């Protein structure tokens, strides 16, 4: 695999201080000017000031310097210019969304294992004479890493071609033969989803948590802080299998707290046994969730989507 990591994203918002402080209250660390990291990774989210909320930069990694040349060649054939600096960094501009893309020859820093919890289940008692960890922890556990992001656009075919045929994301599953495409560059089922939208925008970004208790306690603290923060959850997705809770950050961007996502380490086995390009075809749509609530209509069309569209038009992006 040429691309091998989702390193970080940059979010541009009218009030960067409010967004930085929000994630600091969630346990993320301010590791630089406008930079937030986690315990294992110093850079996960970058925050800068912008006229409207949007993703302004995407930072990926790849395995070798030769991979940079291959990526430059593929996106160049699509009419996208790229610059390679010192043989180790490629930069270009996303032709649909307009954000900056940086690809470095490196890989994400590994995560330390989550602190194990003792569980009691039928026939197996792993916790005796003690309360569950979640009942006695002094504060919600912090996010572990940025896991994926979701982009919506009316130009979903062009965007899919750029990210998959150009940059090199691998298809994990598709809805209606390409109406929406889940893609990966790490072992997670998806690091990216491209889906239709009324304008080009970031639908949500996702932070991995240790487990369902970590999702529940962190999400509950967020809703207690802002009653309007909740969007949908808790539940378990079908595609990706991850447990989810979707909420809104102070800038109005939806984010997901997730855990227990499918891991794909054998591409051939996944392609043969699990990958489908036609979910939503003759067999009917794949269920959004195995259990839990279904996404509401505003999940796909945020309340401020017209404002985002107008801002993009003013910048000459649409």
User: Cβ distance 58 to 5 under 8 Å?
Assistant: no
Rounded CA-CA distance 79/220 in Å is 46
Which one, of 270, 265, 278, 91, lies nearest residue 167 by Cα?
A: 91
Rounded CA-CA distance 50/315 in Å is 12
- 116 pLDDT band, cuts 50/70/90, is confident
pLDDT of residue 318: 76
| Arithmetic mean of pLDDT over the chain | 96
120, pLDDT greater than 90: yes
DSSP string, 102-126: EEEES-PPPPPPPPP---EETTEE-
- 1 pLDDT band, cuts 50/70/90, is low
242, pLDDT greater than 70: yes
- 285 pLDDT band, cuts 50/70/90, is confident
Going by CATH, does the domain composed of 3-110+141-314 fall within 3.10.180.10?
A: yes
**Overall average pLDDT of the 230-257 stretch:** 97
Query: pLDDT tens digits, residue range 208-225?
Result: 999 999 999 999 999 999
- 122 pLDDT band, cuts 50/70/90, is very high
pTM above 0.95, yes or no: yes
**Overall average pLDDT of the 12-25 stretch:** 98
Other CB atoms within a 10 A radius of the CB of residue 177 amount to: 12
59, pLDDT greater than 80: yes
Class of residue 308 by CB neighbours under 10 A (exposed 0-12, middle 13-18, buried 19+): buried
Query: pLDDT tens digits, residue range 178-200?
Result: 999 999 999 999 999 999 999 99
Q: What are phi and psi of 298, to 5 degrees?
A: -70, -10
Q: What are phi and psi of 151, to 5 degrees?
A: -115, 135
Helix (H, G, I), strand (E, B), or coil: what is residue 211?
Answer: coil
pLDDT of residue 126: 93
Please state the domain extents for the chain: 3-110+141-314
The share of the chain scoring above pLDDT 70, in percent, equals: 99
Rounded CA-CA distance 113/226 in Å is 31
- Per the listing, tokens 């289940």 go with 121
Rounded CA-CA distance 73/80 in Å is 9
284, pLDDT greater than 80: no
**Overall average pLDDT of the 137-148 stretch:** 96
């Amino acid at each position: 695999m040429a691309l091998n990591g989702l390193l970080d994203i940059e979010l541009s918002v009218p009030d960067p201080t409010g967004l930085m402080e929000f994630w600091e209250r969630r346990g993320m660390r301010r590791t630089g000017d406008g930079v937030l990291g986690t315990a294992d990774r110093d850079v996960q989210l970058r925050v800068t000031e912008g006229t409207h909320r949007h993703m302004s930069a995407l930072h990926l990694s790849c395995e070798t310097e030769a991979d940079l040349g291959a990526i430059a060649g593929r996106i160049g054939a699509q009419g996208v210019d790229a610059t390679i600096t010192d043989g180790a960094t490629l930069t270009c501009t996303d032709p649909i969304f307009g954000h900056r893309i940086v690809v470095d020859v490196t890989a994400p820093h590994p995560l330390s294992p989550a602190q194990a919890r003792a569980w009691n289940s039928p026939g197996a008692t792993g916790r005796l004479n003690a309360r569950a960890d979640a009942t006695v922890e002094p504060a919600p556990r912090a996010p572990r890493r940025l896991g994926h992001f979701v982009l919506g656009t009316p130009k979903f075919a062009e965007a899919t071609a750029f990210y998959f045929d150009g940059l090199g994301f691998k298809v994990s599953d598709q809805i209606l033969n390409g109406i929406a495409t889940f893609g990966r560059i790490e072992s997670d089922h998806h690091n990216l989803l491209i889906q239709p939208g009324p304008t080009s925008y970031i639908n949500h970004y996702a932070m991995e948590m240790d487990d369902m208790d970590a999702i529940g306690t962190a999400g509950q603290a967020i809703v207690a802080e802002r009653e309007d923060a909740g969007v949908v959850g808790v539940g378990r997705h079908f595609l990706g299998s991850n447990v989810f809770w979707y909420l809104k950050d102070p800038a109005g961007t939806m984010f997901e707290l997730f855990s227990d996502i499918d891991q794909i380490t054998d591409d051939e086995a996944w392609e043969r046994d699990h990958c489908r390009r036609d979910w939503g075809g003759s067999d009917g749509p794949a269920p959004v969730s195995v259990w839990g609530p279904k996404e509401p209509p505003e999940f796909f069309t945020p309340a401020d989507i017209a404002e985002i569209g107008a801002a993009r038009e003013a910048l000459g992006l649409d």
